[in-house]
Structure 1
């Protein structure tokens, strides 16, 4: 039953994909992303929408329900018209998935920050944060928290350890917890931050350089103005703990330039740490005007676009800038500012409505926890967590209104991304958005009431508020009289999957490429195909061009016959790109100085922050990376990350150089034994096969999977406590000469248990498939190739297909981060630059990830 009381129709995955492909006019990637991430599903993965049109009506009806509780409500049709075809207003992530979904108990918030109001430097406080982090991630929220309250390495502690272990072990703890939490098939997202003032800052900066460490978190170092001045003047800098104490227990003087060079080297090498210019963040922050009421900013969400106080959260919504260009790609192209202003007001109303919907979701979560069968002692932490989140949402009513399609908007207007003219226009659009968003929030304060803490005296002198005052004095005066509905409201998020569905450029980023190549496998029975090449195993492949959607729009506007693109030569295609407004304006073309300037100028009209990455070619020097970070600080950016082409994979494979053939393999000198040992260590992996509970026993030899046995868990014949995740598989020869495999484990009390003949407990068909997979494992095939083999199997039976997915998931956990995926191209940019990172394919060229 849907949220509106209507009976739901269940669709098979392929049925939903076909429906979505029709909606997206044949765009496979957009269809796949929408079905896998945003179509209405229940907790078992059953799909109840096959078109984004159904989703948009689901969202519109729910928002209209909230609108009806306030004066001058918007109608469902009016809201739907803004949402349809992803044309104007696009809810992002949690809101798109969760609004109107009463089949799952989850939050609508995209991101949270946690942390004690009075930071607890104790095991109790540290473990409490770990528990809260996991509880939020299971509700689909990304989480950020700061570690600056943890005492540095070697500090005395009042327990048997005598001295503190410092920051890094707790980074690993929080990272591992993130990796363990699944969110509808994807891992959780975590941001860990630390102040540069902290004496363990260097250890924090180095933590991710070592292969396999802290792989479940993004890390950012919080840099203050004093440190930046010390770097530029080649001076000393004082670290201390506690970091804000006038009488610290620990003081350490360092050479600022040396530590800065460490930050730059690691960012150049591995794309981390990102930097947060913390004094800029706090100085510009409107919520920090209310720090005395619990709104002191302490960290950011995983992508860095929302700095938050402890237990506050935010929901995201983007406005598609391209859709406000009339007559795009013509000399008459013009941005419709009147329509834009009108839609900004509507977007802010919808953002405020989503807060009310989130409060309803929090109440449902709270009620569910309250009636869980576990002891109250176990439930108390989670209950308290959601109480604090609800309080912050009510007191601040924070929103995250942003934009997408900046690159396409500029191209449609004939402006070249990164030029002074383009930057000036982008700033004018963002300024208009900011002023109109604040105007809408003031109007809602008059109709709905201001956020409870509003105090114009506390906000006096805040740079953001002063800019609003200068831009529109009348608006400011009205705000001082009636208040604002929302404490802060603007951001610019990455909008990766959002841009795939709106078929535009992402966030404020330029186009990655107007065209790139992909390939598809050709079956012997396929007709009308052109075989580009045949690989070493005899499979045939056809290469084809993938075009950026708005590049095709430009071609049509200029009168180009799109049918000519079939079979077009590379030289002719290059000529078309050179004539287009995307020429010299791609991610690889633009000047890094222009990119940072643009971010800093736009940041002046964003009261939260901007998630942006400066893409750099592989050949850039560390000195250039240093200039990027310095220019970002000088331009007024609140944070910045760089990505040097190929750097992520390089650091994750190994810290030592390897020969090329070993870089493309996850074998690491692994040589399987000629004969199967009598006894093997085994991992126990549980997964869902449809609605059924299944189990896999993975035999391990020298740290590598050697065999896999899998099947359905039958309580009467195959009961293994959920706490058991390891044991041994023993090969036993019976009296009649037959072989069997037993599984042996110890329970929590140390008593041994043996399950005899596990092969006989599983369905024969699945057992035979498992024997086949075990055969290639035992012959040393790299795990990534085994997973690709399993993924590539084709079955008519849905049950076997579900089993196939479960086996692939079970084996993926053994793929080392940085392992290259051979013979596959990125579906976003077409480059053969896919690696496994955090158990998910990730493109080192464009940043695309199947799990983001």
Structure 2
């Protein structure tokens, strides 16, 4: 029942090993270990040994038949010495050095035990703010994020799992621009996902193109105002570049906070689907929906009776996990057992749609998603209420949103969450979470860089049954990643086997919103874009997510990072290098003959001569020379000129290059034509501005304009 790829993942990460690192446990043994350990909680509530054994066997059956799987720490640690079974944690960070480094220590303990951590850095005073105890100045949130990142790098979770963090900052924090751009370099903060905590008032200001206030969290005073639309555009631009930051609609999340008397939610787990209070943790599990399609009378339909039974058993399982888990901190133990949050979700949804013969990008699919999640939510809440009658409501029930006249007592403050199920879906042999198929065939990179080539098993089964299967066809699909436009594929098969990049982004958001309507916590969902997508495409998705009631949104443009978990294209042979990504810009050859102008600009280091040339296709090169300078200054100017020239011949807009050059400051600024020249790169930017202005107006441009603000520089950069 387990695929070869599933066994590979289990052997690398989940199965018990000896001192030499060799597995000493089978997958069946792992499921027995987990079922036995979790079922022990049943004895705490008066169940007899035979009753506990019966429940254990049902837990085992549900997992071994891949109908339900708990989150990775439960599979790894249940029945073992570590015993930490929760996946998601949020820790507080207050505006003191003691709090910051106490949280660093707590983070290390959580990562060592196999959990991921979320933080809000919003309470930290901004960079350059006063520190009265030392008469110094603060280094700001970003510098402390780097401390957490370094600590995470030093710890490998439980020997099997690298730590992951979510870093959040409110959109009204004075350092929000630095935060939005802090992962512009893909090599920075590599152990963090980052998300901007966006407020309702900010989104309203975006719509109206108004300014909004930045507030110092230490003084609670307004320190500056920014144009909301420009900040929004900067978020969009950075997300377009490499997928970060994401957006979390924090006011919407707190509106659904089940225990508001305990405090405000200020962060989520690393993948964004689990909002939590400080010191709170949550254990997750996912139902494999592909297992619940049956064919009575030859017509595919959903077996809701079987699904309901598994939902109820899964809720019992997750509630039991809370009692048998060992938590790394006393504060976490108290908060978890006070709220008893669980997060039951789904995986294999795309596979379910395929078995039902329904395309993912259709209104019928949206309807199925809504109906399935509404059913799961209803059954899960009913089971939680039954457990409350049997075992008692969660201790913090008083003052919760459920504490109303004639209200139903609940065992768990929340019951549903849609997690991404990355490796769990490999084990289950199904599609991830509620995502569409990434591709019909693709290369999956997991763990330590191991590459697994996968063909969707349902597609392969249909291809064999209908007689169009061949090894060469599978290889061609793996190369293309899609079956769209392939004459070898029957049209009805082509229509239902849609991949993430075949689907217009709007359908991703519609599906996320459909599930969010029936989920207590949040939905982990990535909106996939082709490499050719524009920033306008990303902006529209962010706005649609807000309008449709999503609690957050994450986007990813294919090929915008050097490494990505899933990829399509040529399958690499051992020792071979990967081919150039589609859409990567390549400079056109330099023409034999060019024409242009040379401008002299006075800088603080002397007169700079900037030559700007173009050919029939537009600007193509820039040369810059500083009087009689040589050595380092000359080589740096030559390098800058070469990079600018390559960018121009690759089709990068001159305006974008100017934005990168203007505003760069050196220790020796100068004055020329009534304006300040901040550095040699700034001077080159000025010369390019003059050249473009002259072409547009037909008149020489000589005035040195004031360099634009930081926000203007960043937006569209």
Q: TM-score range by the shorter chain?
A: 0.7 to 0.9
Distance in 2 (CA, whole Å) between partners of 1:449 and 1:661 is 57
Preserved contact between residue 41 and residue 324 of structure 2 (Cα < 8 Å):
yes
Secondary structure of 1:60's aligned partner: helix
Q: Does 1:334 align with 2:313?
A: no
Match of 1:139 among 113, 118, 122: 113
Contact 2:13 2:160 in 1 (8 A): no
Distance 1:544 1:321, change over 3 A: closer
Q: CA deviation at 1:567?
A: 4.6
Aligned residue pair count: 550
2:429 matched to 1:509?
Answer: no
1:76 aligns with 2:86: no
Q: Indicate conservation of the 8 Å contact 1:411/1:582, yes or no.
A: no
- Deviation, 1:64, is 2.9
Shift of 1:545: 7.8
Determine whether 1:240 maps to 2:215. Answer: yes
Deviations 1:52-81 (A, max 9, x none): 111111122223332243356543322222
Deviations 1:28-74 (A, max 9, x none): 3222111111112368745321x311111112222333224335654
Whether the 8 Å contact between 1:300 and 1:306 is mirrored in structure 2 is yes
Q: SS at 1:170's partner residue?
A: helix
1:570–1:205 Cα change, 3 Å:
closer
Q: What is the SS of the residue equivalent to 2:137?
A: coil
Counterpart CA distance in 2 for 1:405 and 1:164 is: 48
* Displacement after TM superposition at 1:92 (Å): 2.0
RMSD (Å) for aligned C-alpha atoms: 2.9
The CA deviation at 1:208 is: 0.9
Looking at structure 2, the residues matched to 152 and 424 of structure 1 have their Cα atoms a distance apart, in angstroms, of: 46
Return the alpha-carbon distance in structure 1 between the equivalents of residues 204 and 459 of structure 2: 44
The answer for the alignment partner of 1:416 in structure 2 is 359
**Does structure 2 conserve the Cα–Cα contact (< 8 Å) formed by 1:398 and 1:489?**
yes
Aligned pair partner of 1:636 in 524, 535, 549: 549
For the 8 Å contact 1:415–1:581, the answer to whether it is kept is no
Q: Measure the CA separation in 2 of the matches of 1:571 and 1:219.
A: 37
Q: Does 1:200 pair with 2:181?
A: no
1:113 to 90, 114, 137: 90
Q: In structure 2, what is the equivalent of residue 554 of structure 1?
A: 462
Q: Is the 8 A contact 2:397 2:403 kept in 1?
A: no
**1:525-548, Cα deviation, whole Å (9 max, x unpaired):** xxxxxxxxxxxxxxxxxx998421
* Structure 1 residue runs without a partner (length 5+): 1-22, 366-385, 462-475, 520-542, 652-659, 665-852
**What does residue 538 of structure 2 align with?**
625
1:89 to 42, 55, 68: 68
Q: 1:433-448 maps to which residues of 2 (within 5 A)? A: 433-448=376-391
Distance 1:640 1:445, change over 3 A: same
Q: Distance in 2 between matches of 1:395 and 1:518?
A: 39
User: What's the counterpart of residue 169 of structure 1?
Assistant: 143
Deviation at 1:337, TM superposition (A): 0.8
**1: distance between equivalents of 2:529 and 2:58?**
43
* 1:317-359: CA deviation from partner (whole Å, max 9, x where unpaired): 110111110029x95001011111111111100111111111x
Determine helix, strand or coil for the equivalent of 2:130: coil
The secondary structure found in structure 2 opposite 1:214 is: coil
- After superposition, the C-alpha distances for 1:138-157 in whole angstroms (9 at most, x for unaligned) are 11110111100000122111
3-state SS of the aligned residue for 2:285?
Answer: strand
Q: Secondary structure at the match of 1:643?
A: strand
TM-superposed CA distance for 1:635, in Å, is 0.8
Map 1:287-686 to 2 at 5 A.
290-293=259-262, 295-327=263-295, 332-358=299-325, 361-362=326-327, 386-455=329-398, 458-459=401-402, 477=406, 480=407, 483-516=409-442, 546-555=454-463, 559-560=465-466, 564-568=469-473, 574=486, 575-576=488-489, 578-580=491-493, 583=496, 585-649=498-562
How does 1:182-201 map onto structure 2 within 5 Å?
182-183=156-157, 184-201=159-176
Q: What TM-score, normalized by structure 1, do the two folds share?
A: 0.61
Report the Cα offset of residue 571 of structure 1: 8.0
Q: Please state how far the C-alpha of 1:650 moved relative to its aligned partner.
A: 9.4
1:159 Cα deviation after fit? 3.6
**Can you list the C-alpha shifts for 1:108-147, whole angstroms capped at 9, x where unaligned?**
111110005xxx3121221111111112111111011110
Q: 1:609-650 CA distances to partner (integer Å, 9 max, x unpaired)? A: 111110001111111110010101111111111101111229
Q: Which digits, 9 at most, give the CA deviation of each residue in 1:522-574, with x for residues without a partner?
A: xxxxxxxxxxxxxxxxxxxxx99842112223345xx3358x52455878984
Change (3 A) 1:282 1:570: same
Equivalent in the alignment of 1:35: 11
1:448-471: CA deviation from partner (whole Å, max 9, x where unpaired)? 11111213774479xxxxxxxxxx
**Aligned partner of residue 485 in structure 1, secondary structure:** coil
Distance across 2 between alignment mates of 1:60 and 1:336 = 25
Residues 571 and 392 (structure 1 numbering): CA distance in 2 closer, same or farther, change over 3 Å? closer
Match of 2:41, SS?
Answer: helix
Task: Say if 1:43 and 1:201 are closer, same or farther in 2 by CA, change over 3 A.
Answer: farther
- Helix, strand or coil at the partner of 1:191: strand
Q: Who is 2:102 aligned against?
A: 128
Structure 2 unaligned segments of length 5 or more: list them.
446-450, 478-482, 565-576, 582-717
Q: Per the alignment, in what secondary structure is the counterpart of residue 202 of structure 2?
A: helix
Paired with 1:598 and 1:319, the residues of 2 have a C-alpha distance of 18
| Matching of residues 693-712 of structure 1 within 5 Å | none
Q: Deviations over 1:250-274 (max 9, x none)?
A: 4311111111111111000111001
The 3 A distance-change label for structure 1 pair 67 and 515 is same
Q: 1:214 aligns to what?
A: 189
Answer with 266-275 or 36-45: which moved more.
Answer: 36-45
8 Å Cα contact 1:451/1:487 also seen in 2: yes
Deviation at 1:584, TM superposition (A): 5.7
Q: Aligned equivalents of 1:547 and 1:166: distance in 2?
A: 47
Question: For residues 417-438 of structure 1, what are the alpha-carbon distances to aligned partners after superposition, in whole Å with 9 as ceiling and x for unaligned?
Answer: 0211110111110000001111
- Give secondary structure in 2 for the equivalent of 1:629: helix
Contact kept in structure 2, 1:412 and 1:581, CA below 8 Å: no
| Paired residues of 2:90 and 2:279 also in contact (CA < 8 A) | yes
In 2: Cα distance, 1:192 partner to 1:219 partner: 5
Inter-partner Cα distance in structure 1 for 2:379 and 2:85: 25
Give the whole-Å Cα distance in 1 for the aligned partners of 2:278 and 2:79.
Answer: 28
Mapping for residues 96-107 of structure 1, pairs under 5 Å: 96-102=75-81, 105-107=82-84
**Counterpart-to-counterpart distance in 2, 1:272 and 1:609:** 18
The aligned residue for residue 762 of structure 1 is none
Q: Secondary structure at the match of 1:272?
A: coil
Shift of residue 582, structure 1, vs aligned partner? 5.8
Structure 1 CA distance, aligned partners of 2:36 and 2:525? 33
Distance 1:48 1:398 in 2: 33
Instruction: Return the alpha-carbon distance in structure 2 between the equivalents of residues 212 and 335 of structure 1.
Output: 45
Per mean C-alpha deviation after superposition, the further-off stretch among 181-190 and 170-179 is 181-190
- The 1:161/1:48 distance shift into structure 2, 3 A limit, reads farther
Deviations 1:376-406 (A, max 9, x none): xxxxxxxxxx110110111011112110001
